[in-house]
Amino acid sequence: MNRHIAQADHTDTLHRYSNPRSGEIFVRVYQGQYYVSDKPEDVLCTVLGSCVAVCVRDPVIGFGGMNHFLLPEAASANASGFSLRYGVYSIERLVNDILGHGGERSRLEVKVFGGANVLRGMAKIGTRNSDFVEDYLAREGFKIAAQHLRGDIARRIRYYPTTGKVLLSRISKDMIDIGQQEIKLLNQELLEPGAGEAEIFAKSNSSLPGRK
């Protein structure tokens, strides 16, 4: 079995929390990282404001992963160690990693989340990220099996890379600093279902239980 993380700063920092009751292992995926696994106990978790997470798996071999990117692409060609912060590099690396473990491009299932405009007075980075990921995947010939993009509410995602199951909950508008909230939210209640959490089966931007 295989599991590993890749990230922009080339370190192996990884945060895992186990649930002794269910046997699940919760794995945080931060900005500039992606994580792949074929372990059924792994649950990939992240919190998204304007950032986007792309979840990809090959259902035949039960191998998948999730990334977390900040912007579509770097302003300059020399992105150096920060390349995984940008969607154009991050998605390619994630897909190639899965293919390198026996996946086939024609079988890949793709789901995308995030891209909210959470900060007032700022450029609509979330919309830019959402537009980018839809256009990029279309150009690469990937159909989006499920998505929850745009809006103005941050999201918490839990992705099961071997089954493709996604649990999504939306986060209060009061939680503006997503960088700080990511740490707080991923630490709290990891062992229990989140409030207002719902499973995503298909393309949707509809409201979720518990949030309006």
Count structural domains, the chain.
1
- Number of Cβ atoms within 10 Å of the Cβ of 206: 7
The answer as to whether 96 is a domain residue is: yes
- Do residues 100 and 108 touch, judged by C-beta distance below 8 A? no
Domain of 151: which CATH number? Answer: 3.30.1330.200
Task: Please tell me the distance from the alpha carbon of residue 184 to that of residue 178, in angstroms, as a whole number.
Answer: 9
Beta bridge partners of 163: none
Instruction: Please tell me which residue in 43, 51, 91, 185 is annotated as part of the active site.
Output: 51
- The single residue listed with the structure tokens 């080339």 is 10
* pLDDT single digits (tens) 22-67: 899 999 999 899 999 999 999 999 999 999 999 999 999 999 999 9
Structural domain of residue 137, as residue ranges? 3-199
The answer as to whether 205 is a domain residue is: no
pLDDT at 52: 97
Q: Which of 85, 91, 112 is nearest to 168 (CA)?
A: 112
Is the pLDDT score of 95 beyond 80?
A: yes
The answer as to whether 73 is a domain residue is: yes
The answer as to whether 99 is a domain residue is: yes
The answer as to whether 212 is a domain residue is: no
Active site residue 51: yes
Task: Please tell me the distance from the alpha carbon of residue 207 to that of residue 29, in angstroms, as a whole number.
Answer: 24
Q: What does pTM read for this prediction?
A: 0.81
pLDDT at 157: 96
Please indicate whether residue 42 or residue 8 has the higher confidence score (pLDDT). Answer: 42
pLDDT at 15: 81
Q: Is 179 helix (H, G, I), strand (E, B) or coil?
A: helix
Q: Helices 125-139 and 87-100 sit at what angle, rounded to 10 degrees?
A: 40
Task: Please tell me the distance from the alpha carbon of residue 180 to that of residue 11, in angstroms, as a whole number.
Answer: 20
Is the pLDDT score of 206 beyond 60?
A: no
pLDDT at 9: 45
The answer as to whether 210 is a domain residue is: no
The answer as to whether 86 is a domain residue is: yes
Helix (H) or strand (E) holding 28: strand 25-28
Beta bridge partners of 35: 5, 66
Q: Which of 116, 110, 111 is nearest to 48 (CA)?
A: 116
The answer as to whether 204 is a domain residue is: no
Q: Which of 158, 156, 164, 170 is nearest to 201 (CA)?
A: 164
Is the pLDDT score of 79 beyond 80?
A: no
What pLDDT band is residue 128 in, cutting at 50, 70 and 90?
very high
